[in-house]
Amino acid sequence: MSEELAARGQTTAAQVRKDLSHFGSFGKRGLGYRVRELRASLQRIIGVDRPWRVALVGAGRIGLALFEYPAFRARGYECVAIVDSDPEKIGTVWGNLTIRGPEEFETIVASLDVELIILAVPGPAAQELAARAVDAGVKGILNFAPIRLNVPPRVPVEDVNLIMELEALSFAITQAQRDA
């Protein structure tokens, strides 16, 4: 039931029903939802009913942590290439992949059908690599660089900015202390 889904999702039953109604009608009145079917429908809507080919750009510590994060593959995000500009790292093998140099980037994206990149490089390099990725056909970017990437609007970008997350905590705590 929407009530149970809401409890799990930290929201309200009405919200669940209204959100679902944007995409269709998935339940049965008087009964609720059949979970397997609903899940399958949502997976299709979100687009995670098929694997996605991902390239990791930046083989630093964040890149490594992400590369070894098993949940990615488990959820259908398959890392098919790693690129880094550090000559020390190029040629190194991680798992079943060899780290490539940035000059091969376009070739890799095209030949391996890379759809998404995880951009985990220092700020200054990020914009150029993002632009090259988009030109090479990448369709979306998960960006860890603390800059606002300038890419065409058709290419979605999700920013992960850990400093801002911590600052959100600092703000919430500071506010609460002031109110008290």
Partner DNA sequence: GCATGTGAATAGGTTCACAGCC
Partner DNA sequence: GGCTGTGAACCTATTCACATGC
With contacts defined by CB under 8 A, name the span among 39-47, 82-90, 91-99, 125-133 that binds its own copies: 39-47
CB–CB of 58/128 below 8 Å? no
Phi/psi for 30 (5° steps) reads 85, -10
- CB of 38: closest distance to DNA in angstroms? 9
Tell which one of 9, 15, 128, 170 touches DNA (CB under 7 A).
15
| Tokens describing residue 59 | 């083989």
- CB of 31: closest distance to its own copies in angstroms? 26
CB–CB of 120/99 below 8 Å? no
Tell which one of 7, 18, 86, 172 touches DNA (CB under 7 A).
18
Interface with its own copies in residues 110-169 (CB under 8 A): 115-116, 139-142, 146, 148, 154, 156, 158, 160, 162-163, 165-169
Q: Which does 154 bind (CB under 5 to 8 A by kind): DNA, its own copies, none?
A: its own copies
d(CA 115, CA 78): 10
**By CB under 8 A, residue 62 contacts its own copies:** yes
Tell which one of 24, 47, 87, 124 touches its own copies (CB under 8 A).
47
According to DSSP, the β-strands at 157-159 and 140-143 are parallel
CA end-to-end distance (rounded Å), the chain: 39
d(CA 161, CA 89): 25
Give 48's DSSP letter: -
Q: Which does 12 bind (CB under 5 to 8 A by kind): DNA, its own copies, none?
A: DNA
**By CB under 8 A, residue 10 contacts its own copies:** yes
- CB of 105: closest distance to DNA in angstroms? 35
The residues facing 28 across adjacent strands are 32
Phi/psi for 76 (5° steps) reads 95, 10
- CB of 30: closest distance to its own copies in angstroms? 29
Interface with DNA in residues 24-63 (CB under 7 A): 25-33
